[in-house]
Structure 1
Amino acid sequence: MKINHKNKKIYQNIVYPLAGTILTALLLTVVIESLSRASLYQALLFFKQKPLLFFLNFAVILITLSISLLTARRKFFFLTFTGIWLVLGIVNRVVQCFRLTPISAMDLYQASGLIKTLPVYFNTIGLIFIGLLLLAGVAFLFILWRKLKKSKRLVIAPVSLLVLASFLFILLFHTVTKENMLQKEFDNLRDAYLEYGFAYCFTNSIFERGIDRPKDYSKKRMEEVLDQIENETDKLYTGSTAKAEKPNIIMVQLESFFDVSYFKNYTFSENPAPNFTKLKENCPSGFLKVPVYGAGTVNTEFEVMTGMSMEFFGTGEYPYRTVLRSKTCESIPYNLDRNGYRSFVIHNNTATFYNRNDVFPMLGFDYFDSCEYMNGLIYNKIGWPKDEVLTGEILKALNSDAERDYIYTITVQSHGIYLDKEQDDAKIKVTPSSGNIAYPDNLYKSLSGYVNAIEYYVNELNETDRFIGELTESLSKYEEPTVVVFYGDHLPPLSLKQEDITNDRHSTEYVIWSNFPMEKTRYDLSAYQLGAYVFNRLGMEDGILAKFHQRCFEDANYRENLKLLQYDLLYGKKYVFNQENPNKKTDMSMGIYQPEVKEITRDGDNLLIKGSGFTECSTVIADGKRCKTEFINDTLLKIPYRQLEGKQVYVEQLAGEKTVLGKSKAFKYE
């Protein structure tokens, strides 16, 4: 059959663009889902088991490709949009080889921070390869722009396709939402991407950011909320007030800490957490509802520190990477500062993880003691520092001044993903129940590998529990009144579904230990209520949000007013202060004690730098140049000899190879 001139135009202007774009979008959906799931079979299984969600992702991609056809340079933009989707899929696959969470728009918003973290994951050759790829990509786009000239603008095909794709998306979105197959808010990004698809989840993260302005937000409305806070009586908590005046307050956030007795179908040769179990039996305790599962530590951290709920923020958002980069936020440190407390953060991981070194001054902390300022670090088999070092660091902070202290401690040892190989030296053994045991297969590919991962996890958990025992034992002899709040940040990344455990998948537990009498109670909380609850037990009322949680929990408009307060404090006009924001960025010091150079002597072909506060992250700067530095001990460093008479010498503390966290005062070498 011959195609006449008129039919040929129809095929060129309508049929081919429509068919080609639809086929490309379909192939992209399959390829991207295969990359996301690291398996073509899993992508096809997603299509078979959840066809509505599969085609929802197809519709998202189809919309973007349809838009590219509206331009006169449709060939260039079509290939560019196709390439962007492929690059996102590939980058997501690579990123998930190094961290638990997939990429989201938050990573793009913080591109500069992402670039800074590349040296953590790639060596010099890897970084050069990435740079060459980027240059090749730019060059390829330039060549495409030159080669693919403008064409006659199409109207019927792109408009029809855009209308069709949009209608398909709206129809599918309405259907899957109505059938409860889709959630707008994700508590775990990795699970959401596997459940709902990459294209939809990533696109959702672009538009969901910050807190939406409440419809009734106004100065008058905020005055009503403040009046309600002041006029309400204490409704929320039970238990008598502890009789201790201004105690030291220590909060210990336990990485992936979980009572494994809640596991179904698995038994353990012994209880991995006997100290925590004993504390639950004798101290105030309860379940703690957290905003994340398996990952997202800093969002639980944010809720506890500020009293704000992550419910009102964007999909997959980390305030540490967005709003807190530029704005201060009411927090426990700011509230306690008005009572004469000094605030410390202690974390046995790098200071730059989640931008903490930039964020903590926005939360009012005075000192940040990260692993770069610690000695005696021991690492587990997957490279995370063990938690045993933290007892000494906490005591160091307590003894560093005569004032009362607030110490927020973050553990890291039991961080996943866990080893799925059998460990010959495992103290605690894990046994699956007899019969056919179902196991989640998102991270671990076999039942034996999954059991090995659980076994590795519980043995790391046991060592963290040992730290809990050592800390409480040391503080029981401490002269100043001190209270310690232990809690888990989220359940471990073991791909747990609700049916795998007997407790809520979004609940960890907390206990409150003290070296003075405190009535034992059992009370379940949300993470954003924990700080207010601890204040209440100690007879303290400081901060707008703390008072709000203490007094207004049972009010019918509790949730709506909490959103109003959060919006006003972070994004609004700060009506609640009725004046300038009193929470100013602090001049936070890194480390509890700063490194100090006291003496420099020559030792053959080397110079010995004598002083204090040195660690393996200390680097000597002599005559303005960074020297090859050998760490001997906390009082001695060694560098190759060079003529330095009359020159300035100081010591920098580095995170990685380039990020300077702090430095000593200059020492003049004579």
Structure 2
Amino acid sequence: MLKIKHKEPIFALIMTGIQSFITIFLTEVLYRGGFSPALEWTKDYTRPFTYNFLLLFLLLASLHMFKRKLYIILSYLITIPLLFLGLASNVKQGIRGVPVLPTDLSLAAEARSMAEFFSGTLHFWTIVFLVVLSLLGIFLVYKIPNQQGSNLIRFLTSVVLLTAFIVIFRIESSNDSTFLKRKLMIIYQMTDQRTTYEIDGLMAGFIQNLKWLKQEIPIGYSQSAINTIISKSDVPEYPNDNDKPNIIMIMNEAFWDPTKMESVVFNQDPLPYFHQLQQEASSGSLNVTVFGGSTVNTEFEALTGLSTHFLPSGSIAYLNYVKKPLPSLPTILRKQGYDTTAIHSWHHWFYDRSGVYRDLGFNRFISMEFMGNPIAHGPFFRDKSVTDEILKKLKQENSGKPNFIFAVTTQNHGPYSTDKKEAFSTIETHLKGDASFSDEAESMLEVYSDNLLDIDQDLERLINELNTMDKKTILIFFGDHLPLLGNEYMVYEEANFYQGTDSYEEYLNMYSTPLLIWDNYSNKKESINIGSSMLTPIILNRAGLTGNPFTNYLLSKYLNDGLSKIPREDFYAVEQMDNETLTELKMLQYDILFGKMYFNDNKKIEVSKNYRLGYKDPKITSISIRKGKDKIVVKGQNFTHNSYVFIDGTAADKISGNTTNITIPFTELKKGTEIMVKVIDQNEKILSSSNKYIYE
């Protein structure tokens, strides 16, 4: 029977208040990187602190409807994730310049696999912290006794507090301006999440971004509205040309021109061939939506024409929104007879590319696991490996089909060493006048620039090869984002390239990468300064190919109305983005990603029925045993970097291998032994298997 006790609920609420205060403060200590900045925020921003405290207190206090031991367990399940959210935001903000957002939670699998690139010390202390907290929780559950009987006041109070929390949370997470936000001075800057979090506090900043996880239906969205929009397209008519050009699109990791920093002196040009091409071919800049990372958002825009500026802040398009076949450049080209190939010198599963590329219309995906012998460059691979794969595909028999190849490189991926250079390093830098770089900044810039020099030489090799081929070819070469040259924009600030002014000029500096469009048949030369979401219609126009209704709309806007880019929202006015065009773009994008595909007459986008990873499955043709019986050589075709020999189902150690031979240690083979070659990924998943070879 419920007993009425007055003192126990009051004491429990006091203890919950203390727990909430400590949790919020410790979370800010982890996020801000120290006790002093957290204390300073608590004193200077007392009202935002109160806002965070109130939300957490209501949630934790409502848990007192349960017995004491269960309360401890449930409160731990809330408190520990908050503390780790603070730690993760500190790490991410140091690397990317922004804290953790709700949409980052879908990156958990990738974060685990990238952990090896973060500080080993941080990783160690994170584990220690987790173990200590877990042991403390176990101790408390074991030592603290449960209440005897039940308490009516405690139960009813908890129900009221839980109801209050649910109501307040729903209001606060879905509205920018509420009574509490106004009274407790909570601000929201979508384009500057760092400021939002630093003023409002970690929990409040995170909650304010939850609203971006859902997409609202645009006002007036209908079949007739979409038909009206696409009917405005005025697209050029192209002559029928059976000799369709090969189209090669290379998104080069962190590719940028550091000579744009006018205060920096280089002992040699880090991009001599690229600078030559800029004078000979079409070139300009590509306005992208990301800085220092989130490569796939630029990739998504470049292949679809859709804008991530219209998606929730901080979201990853490939992971959050490519959930079905989408209209895209490879889809358009495949329908016009192209063989479509994606190449990337990294794991097939990263950012779910193996699934996304299928939905974007590629016929195949050549990931790192399916490359013959990619050349390592730190944890990544040199651009030469990607160039080799491009040339390999172009030289294959292809039944006369033109090729569309989209390639993503990794050689220039950060972080860039602050104390060690490569053997091929030749570039040295310094600042003009009396100013000087810090040792760390100077080293990073020189390592990055030496990479560029190597990449530049490989670009020259590719174009020289393309010039020898008797096939019209267009090459599009661009960067996905600026390189992350140190935390807090270190190199850019020391070179006075970034000054934190938030001006439009500085925005373009920090969010624009070089763009080159070259071909071997037209001698066309023009200045092209566009956003990455405009690449697809521009490429189709350059190749003389008609797109789909959406890309036709974009091209018409580009040619007739001067729409060249979709900038960040706070720069719409500078780019003279009119409300009508913005409304139309957002409605078309909603129709494609979340709606009923009215633009395509309600028809689903068809994917390639023959989509696969790699070109072909490996094939074993023979087995040979070396003299002295110390090694076995498995011979065949289509062996790759991640191909391994299996003997009666058990993987054998690999001594060496190439595309036609894999050498393993000697083992006794009995008649009837089954031998196979399998392509295995980092997670030990079998991606491809050979024929079964029976040893005779």
Bin the TM-score by the shorter chain.
0.7 to 0.9
Q: Among residues 681, 685, 689, which one is paired with 1:655 in the alignment?
A: 681
Structure 2 partner of 1:455: 446
Deviation at residue 662 of structure 1 after TM alignment: 2.1
User: Structure 1 counterpart of 2:430, which letter?
Assistant: T
1:448-469 C-alpha deviation (Å, 9 max, x unpaired): 2122212221111222222222
- Do structure 1's residue 592 and structure 2's residue 615 form an aligned pair? yes
Alignment correspondent of 2:663: 638
Identity of aligned residues (%): 25
Alpha carbons 1:244, 1:538 under 8 Å: kept: no
The one of 453, 458, 467 aligned to 1:476: 467
Residue 95 of structure 1 and its aligned partner are, at CA, apart by: 7.5
Matched to 1:667, the amino acid is: Y
Are 1:622 and 1:644, in contact at CA under 8 Å, matched by a contact in 2?
Answer: no
Confirm or deny that 1:622 pairs with 2:647: yes
1:351 Cα deviation after fit: 1.8
1:247–1:483 contact (8 Å) kept in structure 2? yes
- In structure 2, the residue matched to 1:332 is 329
Identify the match of residue 61 of structure 2 among 69, 73, 77. Answer: 69
Indicate conservation of the 8 Å contact 1:304/1:531, yes or no.
yes
Contact 2:96 2:292 (8 Å CA) reproduced? no
Query: 2 CA distance for matches of 1:141 and 1:321?
Result: 36
CA contact (8 A) 2:482 2:511 kept: yes
2:28 is equivalent to residue 33 of structure 1? yes
Greater displacement, 242-251 / 632-641: 242-251
Stretch of structure 1 that moved more, 453-462 or 25-34: 25-34
For residue 330 of structure 1, give the secondary structure of its aligned residue in structure 2: coil
Residues 97 and 293 of structure 1: CA distance in aligned 2, closer, same or farther (over 3 Å): closer
Match of 1:544 in 2: 549
SS for the counterpart of 2:313 is coil
1:313-352 paired onto structure 2 within 5 Å = 313-324=311-322, 326-352=323-349
Q: Secondary structure at the match of 1:541?
A: coil
The reply on whether 1:359 has 2:351 as its aligned counterpart is: no
CA 361–121 in structure 1, closer or farther in 2 if over 3 Å, else same:
farther
The whole-number CA distance in structure 1 between the counterparts of 2:109 and 2:132 is: 17
CA displacement, residues 495-552 of structure 1 (integer Å, 9 cap, x when unaligned): 4379625652111121101111242111211101011111112221122321111113
Partner of 2:601: 578
Q: C-alpha deviations, 1:555-577, integer Å up to 9, x for none? A: 85222222212211221122222
- Paired letter, 2:261: F
Deviation (angstroms), 1:616: 3.6
Is 1:486 the counterpart of 2:477 in the alignment? yes
Residue 386 of structure 2 aligns with which residue? 390
Are 1:202 and 2:206 counterparts?
Answer: yes
Q: Give the aligned partner of residue 503 of structure 2.
A: none
What's 2:625 paired with?
A: 602
1:489 to partner: Cα distance: 0.6
CA drift at 1:356: 1.2
Q: Aligned partner of 1:515: which letter?
A: N
Deviation at 1:251, TM superposition (A): 0.7
Farther-moved stretch of structure 1 (338-347 vs 454-463): 454-463
Preserved CA contact (<8 Å) 2:285 2:513: yes
Match of 2:525 in 1: 520
Note the C-alpha offset of 1:40: 4.0
Does residue 215 of the first structure (1) align with residue 219 of the second (2)? yes
What's the CA shift for 1:609? 0.9
* 8 Å CA contact 2:645, 2:651 repeated in 1: yes
The one-letter amino acid of 1:617's match is N
Which residue in the other structure is 2:252 paired with?
254
Q: 1:521 and 1:112, CA in 2 relative to 1: closer, same or farther beyond 3 A?
A: closer
Aligned counterparts of 1:366 and 1:138: Cα–Cα separation in 2? 52
Q: For 1:200-243, what per-residue CA distance to the aligned partner results, in whole angstroms no more than 9, with x for missing partners?
A: 443344432254321211122122223223xx3569xxxx9999
Of 374, 395, 399 in structure 2, the residue corresponding to residue 399 of structure 1 is: 395
Distance 1:271 1:192 in 2: 40
Q: How many pairs were matched up?
A: 636
**Secondary structure, counterpart of 1:484 in structure 2:** strand
| 1:608 counterpart letter in structure 2 | V
CA contact (8 A) 2:390 2:405 kept: yes
Q: 577-586 or 151-160, which moves further after superposition?
A: 151-160
Task: Decide whether aligned partners of structure 1 residues 38 and 610 sit closer, same or farther in structure 2, where only a CA change above 3 A counts.
Answer: farther
Q: Distance in 1 between matches of 2:278 and 2:366?
A: 29
- Which stretch of structure 1 is more off in the superposition, 415-424 or 469-478? 415-424
Pair 1:378–1:147, CA change in 2 (3 A): farther
Question: Which sits farther off after the overlay, 370-379 or 314-323?
Answer: 370-379
SS at match of 2:250: strand
Inter-partner Cα distance in structure 1 for 2:603 and 2:104: 32
CA contact (8 A) 1:288 1:524 kept: yes
Instruction: Look up the SS of the partner of 1:480 in the other structure.
Output: coil
Task: Provide structure 1 residue ranges, at least 5 long, that are not aligned to the other structure.
Answer: 1-7, 440-446
Separation in 1, partners of 2:251, 2:184 = 37
Offset at residue 296 of structure 1 (A): 0.6
Q: Secondary structure at the match of 1:650?
A: strand
Q: Mark the CA change 1:217 to 1:273 in structure 2 (over 3 Å): closer, same or farther.
A: same
Among candidates 152, 155, 167, match of residue 153 of structure 1 = 155
1:307 to 300, 305, 308: 305
Do the aligned partners of residues 174 and 154 (structure 1) sit closer, same or farther apart at CA in structure 2, a change above 3 Å counting? same
Using the alignment, how far apart are the partners of 1:573 and 1:416 within structure 2?
40
Q: 1:103 to 1:594 in 2, by over 3 A?
A: farther
CA contact (8 A) 1:486 1:512 kept: yes
Shift of residue 657, structure 1, vs aligned partner: 4.6
| Residue equivalent to 2:590 | 567
Q: Is the 8 A contact 2:373 2:658 kept in 1?
A: no
Residues 412-423 of structure 1: matches in 2 within 5 Å? 412-421=410-419, 423=421
Contact 2:50–2:184 (CA under 8 A) maintained in structure 1: no
Q: Distance in 2 between matches of 1:618 and 1:36?
A: 43
| Distance change (3 Å), C-alpha of 1:58 and 1:317 | farther
SS across alignment from 1:500: coil
Alpha-carbon distance in structure 2 between the residues aligned to 1:373 and 1:154: 62
Change in CA separation of 1:475 and 1:90 when aligned onto 2, cut-off 3 Å: same
Q: Distance in 2 between matches of 1:60 and 1:316?
A: 22
**Distance in 1 between residues matched to 2:221 and 2:198, nearest whole Å:** 37
**TM value normalised by structure 2:** 0.80
For residues 583 and 545 of structure 1, what CA distance do their matches in structure 2 show?
16
Aligned to 2:570: none
Q: Aligned partners of 1:132, 1:47: CA distance in 2, in Å?
A: 24
Q: Which amino acid aligns with 1:609?
A: V
Alpha-carbon distance in 2 for matches of 1:192, 1:667: 62
Instruction: Provide the alpha-carbon RMSD of the alignment.
Output: 4.2
CA shift in 2, pair 1:233/1:388, >3 Å: closer
Pairwise CA distance, 1:137: 5.0
Cα deviation code 1:92-141 (max 9, x no counterpart): 56778999976443354465666677799899xx99x9799699959957
Match of 1:442 in 2: none
Is contact 1:25-1:61 (8 Å) kept?
yes
User: Cα 1:254–1:210, aligned 2, differ >3 Å: closer, same or farther?
Assistant: farther
CA distance in 2, matches of 1:484, 1:598: 38
The change in CA–CA distance for 1:453 and 1:61 in structure 2 (over 3 A counts) is: farther
1:583 offset after TM fit, Å?
2.3
In the TM superposition, what is the alpha-carbon distance from 1:485 to its structure 2 partner?
0.5
In the alignment, the residues of structure 1 paired with residue 239 and residue 182 of structure 2 have an alpha-carbon distance, to the nearest angstrom, of: 51
